[in-house]
Amino acid sequence: MCGIVGYTGTKAAKDILISGLKRLEYRGYDSAGVALERAQEGGTTLDVIRRVGKVAGLESELAGVDAASTCGIGHTRWATHGRPSMVNAHPHVSCDGRIAIVHNGIIENFAELRTELEGRGHRFASETDTEVFAHLIEEAYAQTHDLLAALREACARVVGAYGIAAVCADEPGVIAVARKDSPIIIGRGEHGSYVASDIIAVIDATRDVVVLEDGQFARLTPADIEYTDAQGVPIEPAVTHIDWDIDMAEKGGYPDFMLKEIYEQPRVVRDTLVGRMTAGELDIDELGLSMEELNLIDRVYVIACGTSYHAGLIAKNLIEAWARIPCEVEAASEFRYRNPIITPSTLVVAVSQSGETADTLAAIRDARIKGAKVFGITNVVGSPVARESDGVIYTKANKEIAVASTKSFIGQVVSLTLLALLLAQVKGKLTTGQVRMLFRELGDTAEQIQWVLDTQGEHIRDAAAACVDAHSALFVGRGMGAAIANEGALKLKEISYLHAEAYAAGEMKHGPIALIDPGFPVIAVATKSPVYDKTVSNLKECEARGARIIVVATEGDDDIREIADHVIYIPRVRDAFCAITATVPLQLLAREVALMRGCDVDQPRNLAKSVTVE
């Protein structure tokens, strides 16, 4: 996740870019940079200034730059391809330095394009996927001498997602813009034209904006903005008036970051899968282990904390079911003090959103000393977990701001599912055809989450109202449902301060059922699965004791209403992927209960986003 801002007009561009980048900084702050046009004798040139770290560093650097430039583009980066560094910071430039671009998104075919461009003599300065755009535009510009036309040609070659803004020293005052699957907004203000990846960056200057659609292009000049489609035909997009205040704008119009991040989950599924199936084969090239090494693995430990640990519980089910490798899931804080059995054929999978959780890091170091191969799953490029592991999969959740993990959990489960598929394929337990089919179905969960978000809000609010005055709640399920129940209980207790516990539904009769008295909330994951009937029997035992029963069930299951006081539906989904879809209503339920109890859902008491102490 990165931020883009651009300005062309009559005021000092550097001030507008810095203030916009500061507003976008919550989206990522590995590095920041600007490209500013500078008029000089003999023509215009571009000054590209970049700094590793936060925007404040770039601001200090720009203090010494004169304020004459009135056109430029800026970027704040959240690293995806290429570690956080000066060379990987945006803007990226063409070989001759006369074209500069900033880009959000992922270019899936960048490796092929890079090879092709290098073959024609282009020199690359960074490890990023983005840089291919600068060279593609440079080639097209040599033919067209029209920045927007060159950008259109470049976009036609690129597979992937982009929000992009480009400037060219040969077209002073012009910013060319395009978008596909990555947000771009454009607006006119009193002093010129503005582009940004988020309204927050330019809300002080303009409130009437065009939200660029996929396949639309724009040419910004100080006096005007022209829009075209992908063929260059002029279009007149609709203008939206924004009446949010700054606080709402930062949250994209959502009342809190938690809700915003829950709604980002369909995108997280899609982005985490981008580039993972190449020519019909699973592609996890950052694995750091050869196929031979993978084939030798005879034991897997997933080590993690909190929500990441729960993603591990889901993975255990998949790795054992598909790859037939014994898999244990351990709290990282326990793992290193337990003297676990580790051999060179043990794979330790360390899962951490932040990539800097102290317990997880300590466990990684310990596992490596004992000879295990360590594989990291993290959301933060270049984080300690990534650096200290033999290989890594990056979840594409982008920066998560709410303390309660939501979208990063979905990214972790999707990544772990990919790993389970890979192990199963390498071990010969699943055929290539089966892996492809499962991969497709995994991708379908994006739409299934969207369906839950679009249709279940009212049912979730009703269910939340039934919990709000409780002293305690039980989350139950069997199989995958039991694993999901753990995450539901954690979400509820951490943001609503309502005590909640998760239990395997079949275990209720061995103790916890004693807790139940009339009105006690029992929240069950009882989707259609091989253990559905067993779960329903366990729920009947709770019903008989007066529990208030809330069920996450499969769409079309009307029978469940006989025992449930509240039903929240998810679409029919293969049991293996149920965690991705069924966790979403539990996140929303926890948030509703927390709000009804007057809690701050983004910053719950006593917690921190990164836990860097043991």
Q: Which residues bind ligand M6R (CB under 6 A)?
A: 305-308, 352-354, 357, 360, 403-405, 494, 607, 611
As a whole number of angstroms, the distance between CA 410 and CA 52 comes to: 29
Nearest to 73 by CA among 122, 124, 137, 117: 137
Looking at 497-570, which runs of residues are DSSP E strands? 499-504, 521-526, 548-554, 566-570
Closest CA to 95 of 73, 126, 129, 72: 126
**Total number of residues shown for the chain:** 614
Half-sphere exposure of 501 (CA within 13 A, CB side): 13
| Separation in Å, CA 554 to CA 353, 543, 559, 560 | 29, 20, 11, 9
Comparison of 277 and 304: residue with beta carbon closer to ligand M6R: 304
Contact status, residue 505 vs residue 534, Cβ threshold 8 Å: yes
- Any idea which residues carry the catalytic annotation? 2, 609
Are 213 and 184 in contact by the 8 Å Cβ rule? The answer is: no
In the bound state with ligand M6R, the residue whose beta carbon lies nearer, of 187 and 384, is 384
Pairing of strands 499-504, 548-554: unpaired
CB of 405 to ligand M6R, least distance (A): 4
* CB 169, CB 37: distance < 8 Å: yes
Residues 6+ apart with CB under 8 A from 374: 347, 348, 349, 350, 364, 367, 368, 388, 389, 390
Shortest Å, Cβ 130 to ligand M6R: 27
Nearest residue (CB) to ligand M6R, 228 versus 307: 307
State the nearest-atom distance from the C-beta of 266 to ligand M6R, in Å: 20
Q: Beta strand pairing status for 3-9 and 192-196? A: antiparallel
For ligand M6R, the closer of residues 34 and 473 by Cβ is 473
Beta carbon nearer to ligand M6R, 50 or 310: 310
Closest CB 407 distance from ligand M6R, rounded Å: 11
- Which residues face 35 on adjacent strands? 48, 73
Handedness of CA 89, 90, 91, 96 (dihedral sign): positive
Nearer to ligand M6R, 117 or 381 (CB): 381
CB of 556 to ligand M6R, least distance (A): 31
Q: How far is the CB of 302 from ligand M6R (least distance, A)?
A: 12
The CB-of-306 to ligand M6R minimum distance in angstroms stands at 2
Shorter beta-carbon distance to ligand M6R: residue 69 or 405: 405
Please give the residue whose beta carbon sits closest to ligand M6R in the complex. 306
Phi, psi at 214, each rounded to 5°? -55, 135
